[in-house]
Structure formats: C-alpha cells, structure tokens
Amino acid sequence: MTQSPHLATLQELNHHYVRSVDRADVAWFDRHLADDFVNINPDGTRLDRAAFLAQIGRGSTVKDIREHDVQVRLLGDFAIIHARTAYARPDGTQGAGWYTDDWQLRPEGWRCVSAHVSRS
C-alpha cells in the first residue's frame, strides 16, 4: 500500500468531518466515528461517542465552518490531522480555532478515534 491513497482519503474525510459539524450531519459521524471515540470541546468538556452525536444533532453554535492549513500526519495505520478553522459566531463576527483529529485504519476503514477542538 502506498501512502498517497491514504492521504487523499484522510483529506477527504477531514473535509467531510468539518462539513458534517457545520450541517449537523449525525449520519456521517455515525458511519465514521470509532465506537470508542472521545471528543474534547473548546470549553474542556469530554464527550464519548453517544454524547458527541447528540451534540452534533443539536447543531453548532458557530456557522460556515471552514478548514484551512490542514496537515495530515500519516503514521502507518494511524493518522493525526491538525488544522485551523474559520467560522461565524452567533453575533456575526468572525472566529478562528484549531483542531486535532486522530484516525485509525481499522478493518472497516478509517475511523476517527479522538478529536480536540479549541477556539480563539
């Protein structure tokens, strides 16, 4: 296996992850999160998979989320994605942040095992 198909797949998964947060697409996350997924929110709260899916279903307080400066670090069957975000806050002002998502290649394909989000 070459790395380049994995890099392309991970870049696509990363884009759809951000799109799915913006659109409250619970079904996408249900298909792509590992059963043992853990998320750390910008406020420091820790969510398991079920709580994260519920949070996604309620919709994000920020809108028009876009990723940029994406760095995919492929480490065999594990990948770490670091990226910046830009978004609109509820009051219409622009915000920014960082995220780190960890992905593992499992028999069923790439699954996100953890995520950590910060906002500025």
Q: List own/partner pairs for 93-97 with CB under 8 A and 24 or more apart.
A: 95/62, 95/119, 95/120, 96/120, 97/42
**What's the pLDDT tens digit per position in 63-112?**
999 999 999 999 999 999 999 999 999 999 999 999 999 999 999 999 99
**What's the pLDDT tens digit per position in 55-75?**
999 999 999 999 999 999 999
Residue 36 pLDDT exceeds 70: yes
Domain ranges of the chain: 3-119
The whole-model pTM stands at 0.93
Given the candidates 3.40.50.150, 3.40.50.300, 3.10.450.50, 2.60.40.420, the CATH classification of the domain at 3-119 is: 3.10.450.50
Average pLDDT over residues 31-36: 98
Residue 1 pLDDT exceeds 50: no
Q: Which 3 state secondary structure label does DSSP give 66?
A: strand
